[in-house]
Amino acid sequence: MKYLLVEDNLELAQAICSRMGLDGHTIDHAAKISEAMDFAQAGEYDLILLDIMLPDGDGRSFLKQHRAAKNDTPVIVLTARSQVSDRISMLDLGADDYVTKPFDHAELQARCRAVLRRKTGSAQTMMRVGNVEFDPVGGHLTVSGNVINLRNRELRLLELLMNAKGQVFSKQKLVDRLFSYDDDVSDNAIEVYIGRLRKHLEGSSVQIKTLRGLGYRLDHD
């Protein structure tokens, strides 16, 4: 998916971009409102991540202009404040959700997906591999015309593998992506989710291969 990050703190922006990149998302960065307006008008973004405190104005004024321009790209606000009244006024101005800094990347992703699902129903970026159609926003998988609803971790696992076809993911890496650093996860937890996905993908042209000692890889015929 394609994101626009509006954030004046370059270090934070870099960290976010690099983390998003790991999940295979495209992300553009704007450090000012004026820049952000240009980006938003030029490119088609699935979602805008907006910081509130910006050098050339309040994120709220961007929100206002953004909505005034009839641009309906969803906006998730990144705020350092946590006052409820702040959040409410931002929602009133047209933000779709907010994430309080510092945030868990998984939570940000979950919120993005929820916003997109709510806003558009399904992503414009439907993934197609062979005879498999995957909608990461709506969370369903279509295999030879059969629609399968995926659970949260199945969905995230599939999205990860599909975004990097042919790339080998170690078990460790997959655990890191699917679970919080805090979760107590056993090694075979991943095998359970891989097993479920394989079952969903049965009869399709897509397979998840096990590379002994290395990890997993998504292949297709």
Partner 1 sequence: MTEDVLVSGSLRNRLAMILTGGAAVLAIVIFVVVRGYAAQIAQEGQDNILSASVSSILDAAVLRDGMVELDFPYASLSMLSTAADDRVFYAIYEDGVLLSGYAGLDMPQPGQTDEKTFASLQYDGATVRVATGTRILIGADVPRQVSVSVAQTQDALSETLNRISRNVAVFGAGFFALSTALSFWATSTTIGQLSRLTNSVTRRGPQDLSPFRKPVPSEMVPLVGSLNSLMSRLDQSLKQSEDFIAEAAHRMRTPLATVRSNAEATFQRVENPENRNSLRSMMRAIDECSRAAGQLLDHAMVTFRAENLDRETVDLEEMLRELVLRMTPVAELRDVALHLEGGVPALLTGDPVLLQNAFRNLIDNALKYAPPDTTIVIRVHNDPTLAVDVLDRGPGFPPDEIDLLAGRFVRGSDTKGRIGSGLGLTIAQDVVLAHGGALVLSNRSEGGACATLQF
126, amino acid identity: M
Shortest CB 193 distance to partner 1, Å: 11
Looking from the CA of 183 toward its CB, the CA atoms found within 13 Å total: 11
Shortest CB 35 distance to partner 1, Å: 19
Shortest CB 61 distance to partner 1, Å: 19
In residues, how long is the chain? 221
Cα torsion 150, 73, 3, 15: sign: negative
Q: Which is nearer to partner 1, 173 or 198 (CB)?
A: 173
Shortest CB 124 distance to partner 1, Å: 20
Judge contact between 54 and 62, C-beta under 8 A: yes
Picking from 68, 91, 104, 93, the residue whose alpha carbon sits closest to that of residue 183 is 104
Shortest CB 41 distance to partner 1, Å: 27
Q: Which is nearer to partner 1, 151 or 209 (CB)?
A: 151
Residue numbers at the binding site for partner 1 (CB under 8 A): 9, 11-12, 15-16, 18-19, 22, 53, 78, 80-85, 88, 97, 100-107, 110-111, 113-114, 151-153, 172-173, 176-177, 180-182
Q: What is the CA radius of gyration of the chain?
A: 19
Q: Which is nearer to partner 1, 41 or 172 (CB)?
A: 172
Q: Which is nearer to partner 1, 2 or 173 (CB)?
A: 173
Shortest CB 204 distance to partner 1, Å: 25
Picking from 126, 194, 123, the residue whose alpha carbon sits closest to that of residue 157 is 194
DSSP state of 169: B
User: What's the N-to-C CA distance of the chain in angstroms?
Assistant: 24
Q: Which is nearer to partner 1, 102 or 145 (CB)?
A: 102
Provide the token pair at 32.
């000012």
Q: Which is nearer to partner 1, 11 or 202 (CB)?
A: 11
Picking from 206, 47, 189, 188, the residue whose alpha carbon sits closest to that of residue 141 is 206
